[in-house]
Structure 1
Amino acid sequence: MRKLLPLAVTGLLALPACQFAGGDDAADEAHRLNSMKALPLNAYLPDAASRDGKAVGTAQWLLAKRCMVRLGFTGFKTLDIRTVDSTYPVRQGTLTSAGKVGDNSLYGVDDPDLAAEHGYHNRRREESDDQPMEWPADQYAALTGTFESGDSHRAHGNPIPEKGCMGEGVRKIFGPEPKPRKVGGVQLSGYHWLGAELWYQAHKKARKDPAWKKADRAWSACMKKKDLRYAGPDEASTDSDWYRTDEPSAKEKKTAEADARCKRDTGYIKAVHAVDSRAQKALIAKNEKQLDDERAAFLRSMANARKIVDDLS
């Protein structure tokens, strides 16, 4: 259970026990709903942090390691996969630290205590956030199939496969890659485009729903009482002022804390989650067979990844 905000003893004693417990339950429920896992379409998206998801990453690197040796990079024979697992290659000289501003949750900050301490610099660390290794230009090109001007498309006389050794590994796990699709002006590629496409469509529709707009207005009115003027939580969390420093300013902390409190006081997360969920369920009902087929294909690929790991480890 999260730490409660400091309360005057007299105020605490004046609260009925059932009211206090109910408030805590509501906060916990809002926190639970503030996650991709709480929405229906999450069941149709791969989870990189799961046991099967990690097997894919390990299998991809094992296959890439073998491919790189084949291309003439003999030093890869002794590459310890554990040093690169859960990462993707970065070209030497281009590695930058990930921005600290942001929040991995769906609807932004929801805990006033954490927000008061970290502001919007509260991005939770995931397995996929592991620091990638930098690779020399020739190895990077061979690993990823990404070339800059002057880079050779061959390595030690051998042709580099499409999308490099990493891409070759993915194709051996999942099979031929589907053709890219453009959704809302964004090019989507990969093996699970339908779930991502439907997520985008559902969220776009949900944001136009009167219930969502009503939630935004209630939250905005709450913030205005605290002398903070934002049309919605997204506008507050992406204020350009927050990106100017590595550490949160006093103003950012104040805004983030108010943001989280107003979400709780207005029932914001529960309201918008219901709209998002309703929109996703409608699209799942229309595309259920194709989604089920893609999920079955993904499960077969997971089994393939585990077999590759067993064979090559």
Structure 2
Amino acid sequence: MRKLLPLALTGLLAVSACQFVGGDDADDEAHRLNTMKALPLNDYLADPASADGKAVGTAQWLLAKKCMVRLGFTGFKTLDIRTVDSTYPVRQGTLASSSKLGDDSPYGVDDPDLAAENGYHNRPRDEATDQPMEWPADQYTALTGTFEAGESRRAHGNPIPDKGCMGEALRKIAGPRPKPTKIGGVQLTGYSSVAATLWYQAHKEARKDPAWKKADRAWSTCMKEEGFRYPDPDKASIDTDWFGTDEPSAKEKKTAAADARCKLDTEYIQKVHAVESRKQKSAIARHKKELEERLAADRRAMANARKIVDAES
């Protein structure tokens, strides 16, 4: 028995080693890398779904509510913030219908079983963001400072603040809008525009990289073997056949399942993530100062928001 035990252990370790280097681990890696947080620039973007991010939204509405009362909209005295929290105002009559098409992953479907069930309709329903409250024109303009031709820039005789009550509230939380910054010849003025623009530019550069193009070709070849002809995963996911319906068709489900299988079989996600990650790290190195300054400002804004929310609770 003593001689057999090492052989048994050796066999067990061999099986474990095969499992370790097998497809399951590669698939797990693909799923892990197919998230926004797996990319370097994500560290410089505020997360609106975090507790701090939600505090900013709540504080913005608390301050906007007071501003609206000051402008003469007395009904806002009784506005329940919980009915509008985490939303942004929409002009009455312009609310577009929401769709479940798409998702929040950088590289699309990566689970063949889920894709076979949902197709490319992977966006979860969120009542808070899918159905924001619609506001009459006079309230909408006062809230947002967005005007159509002929609309007054005053409410009940009072001047509407720049960007409306929502904009005034955000300035009180986050401070004045950042000074314009130029990146790649583009002038930026928004609170999150530096990281967002660097992300967009890095992605554009990554798509032109030979390694990314090679990954597209390998994926496309795999899809042809499955009976589908698309040059890259983006073209598959935005096929016009998938639009205009809340439920995926049989064709969409088959296409999405093949898409996910080919991503896993060709290690597509690992390859393109490596390219995009390199481009983002390079962008961070070139613009470290601007990114760190914006990150510090975001932290101050979240601290201010928590104080405002705590004072009202």
Pairwise CA distance, 1:185: 9.6
CA deviation after TM superposition for structure 1 residue 125, in Å: 4.7
Q: Does structure 2 retain, via aligned residues, the 8 Å contact 1:181–1:189?
A: yes
Q: Identify the residue that residue 89 of structure 1 maps to in structure 2.
A: 89
1:2-41 correspondence runs (5 A): 19=18, 22-41=22-41
Q: Which residue of 1 aligns with 2:4?
A: none
Which position in structure 2 is the counterpart of 1:10?
Answer: none
State the AA in 2 paired with 1:218. A
Q: Which amino acid aligns with 1:303?
A: A
**C-alpha distance 269-44 of structure 1, shift in aligned 2 (>3 A):** same
Provide the rounded CA distance (Å) in 2 between the counterparts of 1:251 and 1:182.
Answer: 45
Contact 1:49 1:126 in 2 (8 A): no
The residue number in structure 1 matching 2:175 is: 175
RMSD (Å) for aligned C-alpha atoms = 2.0
Match in the other structure for 1:261: 261
Q: CA deviation at 1:292?
A: 1.3
Which residue in the other structure is 1:60 paired with?
A: 60
Q: CA deviation at 1:97?
A: 2.0
99-108 vs 34-43, which deviates more? Answer: 99-108
Return the alpha-carbon distance in structure 1 between the equivalents of residues 281 and 312 of structure 2: 41
Q: Which residue of 2 aligns with 1:292?
A: 292
Q: Any idea what the Cα deviations from partners look like across 1:119-159, whole Å, max 9, x if unmatched?
A: 11111456973521111111111111111233221111111
Instruction: Supply the distance in 2 between the matched residues of 1:83 and 1:257 (Cα, whole angstroms).
Output: 38
- Cα deviation, 1:232-281, whole Å, max 9, x if unaligned, reads 00010011111133321111111000000000000000110011111111
CA distance in 2, matches of 1:212, 1:127: 37
Partners in 2 of 1:246 and 1:281 — Cα distance?
38
Count of matched residue pairs: 298
5+ long unaligned stretches in structure 2: 1-14
Bigger CA drift: 189-198 or 54-63?
189-198
Higher mean displacement: 66-75 or 147-156 = 147-156
What are the residue-to-residue correspondences of 1:80-119 with 2, within 5 Å? Answer: 80-119=80-119
Give the distance between the partners of 1:74 and 1:40, measured in 2 at CA: 46
Distance 2:63 2:93 in 1: 25
Distance in 2 (CA, whole Å) between partners of 1:128 and 1:184 is 36
Q: Residue 95 of structure 1: CA displacement?
A: 1.4
Q: Name the stretch that deviates more: 199-208 or 262-271.
A: 199-208
TM-score normalised by the chain length of structure 2: 0.89
| TM-superposed deviation, 1:99 | 2.1
Q: What percent identity do the matched residue pairs reach?
A: 74
**Partner amino acid, structure 2, of 1:271:** K
Please say if residues 205 and 279 of structure 1, whose CA atoms lie closer than 8 Å, have aligned partners that are also in contact: yes
Aligned twin of 2:209: 209
Gaps of 5+ in 1: 1-15
CA shift, 1:204, in A, is 1.2
Find the structure with the greater CA-based Rg. Answer: 2
1:60 deviation in Å? 0.3
Separation in 1 of the partners of 2:288 and 2:27? 33
The 8 Å contact of residues 49 and 127 in structure 1, kept in 2 or not, is answered as: no
Name the CA distance, whole Å, in 1 between partners of 2:199 and 2:280: 7
TM-score by length of 1: 0.89
What does 1:105-254 align with in structure 2 at a 5 Å threshold?
A: 105-125=105-125, 129-178=129-178, 189-254=189-254
- Amino acid corresponding to residue 85 of structure 2 in structure 1: D
Which residue does 1:69 correspond to in 2? 69
Greater mean alpha carbon deviation, residues 274-283 or residues 21-30: 21-30
1:178 is displaced (CA, Å) by 2.7
* SS in structure 2 of the partner of residue 244 of structure 1: coil
Report the Cα distance in structure 2 between the residues aligned to 1:133 and 1:35, rounded to whole angstroms.
30
